[in-house]
Amino acid sequence: MNEFDLMVIGGGPGGYAAAIRASQLGLSVALAEKEALGGTCLNWGCIPTKSLLHSAELLRNLGHAAQLGINLGEVHFDLSVMVSESRRAAEKLSQGIQHLMKKNNVRIFAGDAVISSPGLVRVGEAEILADNIIVATGASPRRLGAIEPDGKLIWGAREAMTPGFLPERLLIVGAGAIGVEFASFYAALNSKVTLLEVAAQILPVEDSEIAELAATAFRAQGIEILTGCSLENLESSETVTALIDGEAREFDAVILSVGVQANLSGAGVDKLGLELIDGFIAVNEVQQTNLPGIYAIGDVTGAPCLAHKATHEAMIAAEKIAGLQPQPIQKKRIPGCTYSYPQIASIGLKEADLRGRPFKVGRFPLYANGKAVVSHQTDGLVKTLFDAESGELLGAHLIGEGVTELIHGFAIAIGLEATEESLIQTIFPHPTVSEAMHESVLNAFGRTLHL
C-alpha cells in the first residue's frame, strides 16, 4: 500500500504544478497520468499549435521579405515537417516535466486513476492512500450533437494539428480561440478557410470592437466568416458536405472546435457524488469540492479553460492542503490570449459589460506606434476601460502582433489595483509596442501624445 499526503490525478499544467508546489511545501506527493505529462496544453493544445503558428508566421513574414530588402526567390513549405517539429517541441517539454517531477520527488503512477472513495485511489494494480486528492483531469472537445470527428475528413483539435494533408477548402466550426488559431494557420498555408460561428460575433468572449477588428483582418486574409449561422448536418464521403442554414456547401475537411467538456468519467469522479455545475466540478474559493479531502482545479472546474488559470488554482489548492491561507482566484484578473494573426489579448471587463456605469475608454491604434511601423505590424489597437469615478482599470483589450506578450502589464496593474494614475506615472520604454499601452491610458484621460 502506498501512502501520500497528496494524490494528484492528471499531469497537465494544473496537476503537475500542484504536485511541485505541494512538494515545495513539504508534502509527499504522487501524480497519476494516463498519457504524457503536460496534459492537453503541452501535448495537444497550446504548445504544438504555437509551434505550427510560428511556422505560419515565419512563412507569412518571408512573403514580405523583399519589402525589407531580402530576396529569397520562391518560398516553399512542407506541412509534414511543420507537424513533426510541433510534435518534437511537445515531446521535449513533456520530458522536461518528467524531470521536474523527479526533481521534486513526485511519484508518478502511469495509467488510469480511479478514485474508489475519498482517500483511496487505484491506478491499475496500485492502491494509493492519500488524505488529499486533487482532481486535475482537464477537459476534452465538446461534441456537436450527433456530429463526431471521424479522423479522416472531420477533425477535432488533435487531427487538426496533425493533418495528413492540406485541405484546399476548410470549414472551421466554432470561432473561439481554438477555431481562429486554426483559421490563421491554414489561411497562411493558402487553404480557403470558412469560419462558422453560431454567435453574432467571432471570438464571442472578446470585446466586440476587438472581435470586429479581428474579423476585418481575417477577411483581408481571405478567410470567409459566417456569424450567426449554425451547422445542421455534415456528410462525409470523398469530400464533406456541410448543411449551413439550409445551404449545402462542399469542403475538403472540417475542424470542429465548439468548446470543451469536463473529463469526469476517466477518474471515476462521476460516481463519487461530486457536486457539478453545468457539467463541471463545483469548487469553493480554495478549490475544495463538496467531498472532504477532494479538490479540483483547472478545466474540469469550468471556464475559462486556460492553462494559466489551472496553474494558479493549483497553487491555491496545494497551499490550502499544506495549511496556508491562499488568496482566492479572481476570474476577472485572468488574462486570455489568442495566437491568431493578428493576435488578441484581453483581461477584465468588456465595454459591453459596462452598460449603465460611468466609464472612460482609451484607444490607441498601432499605426501611431513607431516600433509597430518599422516592424510592418501596424494593424492593431490597444483599448483600455476605466471606472470614471475611481480610476480603476476595469479591462484591457488588445489586438495586433505581439500583444500576447504585452497583456501581462495590464494583468499586473489590475492585480495591484492600480488606478490610471499609477499607469500614467509608469515610464514605458521607447521604442516598443508597449508604448501603445501607455498611450491608450493617456487617451482615456484626454492626454494622448501621439494622436
Partner 1 sequence: MPKEIYLVKVGMTMTEGMVSEWFIADGAEVIKGELLYALETEKINLDVDADASGTVRHSVETGINLAPGDVVGYIYEAGEAIPETSLTIAVTEPAVSIEAAPDAQVKPSAPSVAAVSGRLKSSPAARRLAGELKVDITALTGTGPAGRIVEADVLLASSGPGPVKASPLARRLAEQRGIDLSTVRGSGPGGRIVQADLDGLESRPASKAAGTAGSTAQVIPMKGMRKTIAERMQQSLQNSAQLSMDMLAGMDDAVSMRTQLLKEWEGEARPTYTDFVVKATAKALRLHPQMNSVFAPTGITLLDEIHIGIAVAVAEGLLVPVIRNADQLSLKEIAVESARLASSAREGSLGLDDYAGGTFTLSALGMYGVDSFTPIINQPQSGILGINRIFDGLTWDQDRPIKTKQMNLSLTWDHRVIDGAPAAEFLATVVELISQPYRLLV
391 contacts partner 1 (rule: CB under 8 A): yes
Q: Which of 78, 285, 405, 421 binds partner 1 (CB under 8 A)?
A: 421
Q: Which three cell numbers stand for residue 2?
A: 502506498
Q: Which is nearer to partner 1, 270 or 392 (CB)?
A: 392
Residue at 338: amino acid letter: T
417 contacts partner 1 (rule: CB under 8 A): yes
Q: Which residues pair with 412 in a beta bridge?
A: none
Considering only the stretches 176-184, 235-243, 361-369, 384-392, report the one whose residues sit in contact with partner 1 under the rule CB under 8 A.
384-392
CB of residue 297 to partner 1, shortest distance in Å = 20
327 contacts partner 1 (rule: CB under 8 A): yes
227 contacts partner 1 (rule: CB under 8 A): no
CA 120 to chain centre: 32
Q: Which three cell numbers stand for residue 114?
A: 480511479
Q: DSSP class of residue 243?
A: E
54: annotated active-site residue: no
Could you tell me the CA-to-CA distances from 419 to 4, 177, 386, 414, 426 in Å, in that order? Answer: 45, 30, 8, 8, 11
- Please state, in angstroms and rounded to a whole number, the distance separating the CA atoms of residues 30 and 336: 30
CB of residue 322 to partner 1, shortest distance in Å = 17
CB of residue 359 to partner 1, shortest distance in Å = 14
Q: Which is nearer to partner 1, 281 or 437 (CB)?
A: 437
Q: Which is nearer to partner 1, 48 or 409 (CB)?
A: 409
CA 326 to chain centre: 24
Preceding peptide of 431 cis, ω within 30°: yes
Q: Which is nearer to partner 1, 378 or 419 (CB)?
A: 419
**What's the distance, Cα to Cα, between the start and end of the chain in Å?**
69
212 contacts partner 1 (rule: CB under 8 A): no
Handedness of CA 57, 62, 64, 67 (dihedral sign): positive
CB of residue 416 to partner 1, shortest distance in Å = 6
Q: Which of 63, 390, 412, 447 binds partner 1 (CB under 8 A)?
A: 390
CB of residue 393 to partner 1, shortest distance in Å = 8
Considering only the stretches 90-98, 283-291, 375-383, 417-425, report the one whose residues sit in contact with partner 1 under the rule CB under 8 A.
417-425
Handedness of CA 409, 328, 295, 257 (dihedral sign): negative
CB of residue 316 to partner 1, shortest distance in Å = 13
Crossing angle between the packed helical segments 46-63 and 177-188, to the nearest 10 degrees: 40
CB of residue 418 to partner 1, shortest distance in Å = 5
CB of residue 442 to partner 1, shortest distance in Å = 17
Q: Which of 98, 422, 426, 432 binds partner 1 (CB under 8 A)?
A: 422
Q: Which residues of 268-286 are buried (b: 16+ CB within 10 A; e: fewer)?
A: bbeebebebeeebbebeeb
Q: Which is nearer to partner 1, 98 or 426 (CB)?
A: 426
162 contacts partner 1 (rule: CB under 8 A): no
Considering only the stretches 260-268, 312-320, 372-380, 387-395, report the one whose residues sit in contact with partner 1 under the rule CB under 8 A.
387-395
Q: How many residues does the chain have?
A: 451
419 contacts partner 1 (rule: CB under 8 A): yes
Catalytic residue of the set 64, 99, 376, 430 = 430
416 contacts partner 1 (rule: CB under 8 A): yes
Q: Which three cell numbers stand for residue 92?
A: 521535449
418 contacts partner 1 (rule: CB under 8 A): yes
389 contacts partner 1 (rule: CB under 8 A): yes
In 237-306, which ranges are E strands?
240-244, 247-251, 253-256, 260-262, 276-277, 280-281, 294-296
Cα 48–54–60 angle (5° rounding)?
A: 145
Crossing angle between the packed helical segments 15-24 and 307-321, to the nearest 10 degrees: 30
Considering only the stretches 27-35, 92-100, 102-110, 385-393, report the one whose residues sit in contact with partner 1 under the rule CB under 8 A.
385-393
Q: DSSP class of residue 328?
A: P
Q: Which is nearer to partner 1, 419 or 448 (CB)?
A: 419
Q: Which is nearer to partner 1, 281 or 423 (CB)?
A: 423
In 21-173, which ranges are E strands?
29-33, 106-110, 113-117, 120-123, 126-135, 139-141, 154-155, 169-173
400 contacts partner 1 (rule: CB under 8 A): no
286 contacts partner 1 (rule: CB under 8 A): no
Q: Which is nearer to partner 1, 237 or 325 (CB)?
A: 325
Q: Which is nearer to partner 1, 245 or 421 (CB)?
A: 421
Q: Which of 392, 432, 445, 448 binds partner 1 (CB under 8 A)?
A: 392
Q: Which residues pair with 32 in a beta bridge?
A: 9, 109
List contacts with partner 1 (CB under 8 A).
Answer: 327, 389-392, 416-419, 421-422
Active site residues: 430
